[in-house]
């Protein structure tokens, strides 16, 4: 009898263990699905725009409102980050991203000149502007070519840093293709604006060096993220993971230098900003060391009717927490019909004022139109 009871207990224990193992497997699988990056869920495509191969991804529902995301200097579409992209997908938008030419998986212009960053900047400082291998207009044309490939006639165009500059040129050149413009941590290129911090320039110059080992490049990328990132939101582990994903996809420092030449050669875009006639949102961080806050204020002032949101604690990067704050402003900008007052998705009030001088932060307060544009709550 005792022997039978012992065997029965063992069988019950085995059955219970199998149930636990099955439950653990199901939960683990569901967690993997929930945490899977949107960049991994959708395939990478290629299209040719005027003999230039451009890599892009097309995410979300085909009948969703299209959003075109254009990244910055030397960056890849991965730099938009999972938080922002997934937030747009959760909002029902069709999200189109591309790697700019000379970056990521898009075509590299091997054999063309790429002098050191310091030499390019010194020559520009004394009035010798580089003759670029291509222009911001060419890069805007690449983005429009991706829309053509997908049969998208109009999209909300969102650009970050150099991507904001490309988006400005795209909107001024192809206004019929743009439902709205959002320029994030970008600039008009006006010559009287504040310069980048010395630490930010030094970090970028270090990161643009060729011939370094993978380990050195990984450390350089984390160093850049720390130097130009958001003081309130920087996370070294996140920066390291993102840098690893980017390096696994490919790195090409000479392309970054040629893109910088295109920026410098574009000069002051103030005249074309004055011609933009689409709903425009300008988002900038109040702690941006690469393009200080006045770059955002100047851009908003020069685009007729543009709205400005200054995000407290945000630098020149889209860490997950910074991305969430961008979403809290960007989604209502589209969904409320661009009428002015909006509410953030986390319940804290935000306000877009026209002409906008506002700070989006963690408090329940916002700046009124009469408040100084540089104030931070």
Q: Which of 321, 235, 328 is nearest to 281 (CA)?
A: 328
pLDDT over 80 (residue 129): no
Same domain, 89 and 31: no
Same domain, 294 and 237: yes
- What are the pLDDT digits (tens) for 66-125? 999 999 999 999 999 999 999 999 999 999 999 999 999 999 999 776 665 545 555 555
Same domain, 205 and 268: yes
User: Which structural domain, as residue segments, surrounds residue 157?
Assistant: 42-360
Do you know the residue count of the chain?
377
CATH number at residue 142: 3.40.50.1820
Distance CA(306)–CA(188), nearest Å, equals: 13
Per-residue burial over 238-270, b = 16 or more CB atoms within 10 Å of its CB, e = otherwise: bbeebbeebeebebbbbbbbbbbbbbbbbeebb
Name the token pair of 206: 């270090």
Same domain, 4 and 127: no
Same domain, 19 and 54: no
Q: Which of 179, 154, 368 is nearest to 280 (CA)?
A: 179
Lowest mean pLDDT among 90-99, 291-300, 354-363: 354-363
Name the token pair of 77: 């579409």
The pLDDT > 70 percentage for the chain reads: 74
Same domain, 249 and 309: yes
CB atoms closer than 10 angstroms to residue 124: 16
Same domain, 173 and 195: yes
Long-range (24+ apart) CB contacts under 8 A made by 244-249 are: 244/218, 245/78, 246/76, 246/78, 246/79, 246/221, 247/214, 247/217, 247/218, 247/221, 249/76, 249/78, 249/104, 249/105
Same domain, 125 and 171: yes
User: Hey, CA dihedral for 361, 342, 305, 273, is it positive or negative?
Assistant: positive
- In a domain? residue 367: no
Residue predicted with more confidence, 31 or 77: 77
Same domain, 115 and 211: yes
Same domain, 139 and 283: yes
Query: What's the confidence (pLDDT) of residue 203?
Result: 83
What band does 304 get if pLDDT is binned at 50, 70 and 90? very high
Lowest mean pLDDT among 18-32, 91-105, 301-315: 18-32
Going from the C-alpha of 243 to that of each of 150, 218, 234, the distances in angstroms are: 29, 6, 14
Residue predicted with more confidence, 203 or 48: 48
Lowest mean pLDDT among 39-43, 115-119, 131-135, 181-185: 115-119
Greatest distance between any 2 Cα atoms in the chain: 99
- In a domain? residue 369: no
- What are the pLDDT digits (tens) for 212-251? 899 999 999 999 999 999 989 999 999 999 999 999 998 8
Residue predicted with more confidence, 269 or 361: 269
Same domain, 328 and 355: yes
Over the Cα atoms of the chain, what is R_g? 23
Report the number of distinct structural domains present in the chain. Answer: 2
């Amino acid at each position: 009898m005792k022997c039978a009871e012992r065997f029965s207990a063992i069988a019950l224990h085995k059955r219970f263990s199998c149930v636990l193992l099955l439950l653990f497997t199901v939960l683990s699988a569901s967690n993997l699905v929930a945490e899977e990056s949107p960049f991994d869920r959708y395939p990478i495509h290629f299209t040719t725009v005027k003999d230039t191969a451009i890599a892009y991804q097309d995410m979300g529902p085909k009948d969703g409102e299209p959003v075109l995301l254009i990244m910055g200097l030397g960056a890849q579409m991965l730099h938009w980050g999972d938080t922002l992209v997934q937030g747009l997908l959760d909002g029902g938008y069709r999200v189109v991203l591309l790697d700019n030419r000379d970056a990521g998986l898009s075509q590299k212009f091997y054999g063309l000149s790429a002098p050191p960053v310091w030499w390019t900047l010194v020559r520009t400082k004394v009035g010798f502007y580089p003759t670029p291998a291509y222009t911001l207009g060419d890069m805007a044309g690449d983005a429009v070519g991706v829309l053509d490939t997908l049969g998208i006639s109009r999209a909300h165009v969102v650009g970050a840093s150099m991507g904001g500059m490309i988006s400005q040129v795209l909107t001024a050149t192809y206004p019929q293709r743009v439902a709205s413009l959002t320029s994030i941590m970008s600039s008009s290129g006006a010559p009287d604006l504040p310069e980048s911090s010395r630490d930010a320039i030094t970090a970028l110059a270090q990161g643009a060096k060729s011939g370094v080992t993978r380990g050195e490049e990984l450390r350089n990328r984390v160093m850049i993220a720390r130097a130009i990132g958001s003081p309130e939101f920087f996370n070294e582990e996140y920066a390291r993971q993102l840098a690893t994903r980017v390096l696994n996809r490919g790195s090409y420092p000479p392309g970054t230098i040629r893109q910088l030449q295109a920026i410098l050669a574009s000069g002051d875009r103030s005249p074309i900003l004055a011609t933009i006639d689409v709903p425009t949102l300008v988002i900038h961080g109040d702690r941006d060391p690469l393009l200080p806050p006045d770059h955002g204020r100047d851009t908003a002032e020069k685009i007729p009717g543009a709205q400005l949101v200054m995000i407290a604690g945000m630098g020149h990067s889209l860490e997950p927490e910074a991305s969430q704050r961008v979403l809290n402003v960007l989604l209502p900008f589209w969904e409320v019909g661009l009428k002015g007052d909006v509410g953030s998705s986390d319940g804290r009030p935000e306000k877009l004022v026209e002409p906008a001088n506002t700070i989006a932060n963690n408090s329940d307060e916002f700046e009124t139109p009469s408040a100084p544009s540089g104030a931070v709550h």
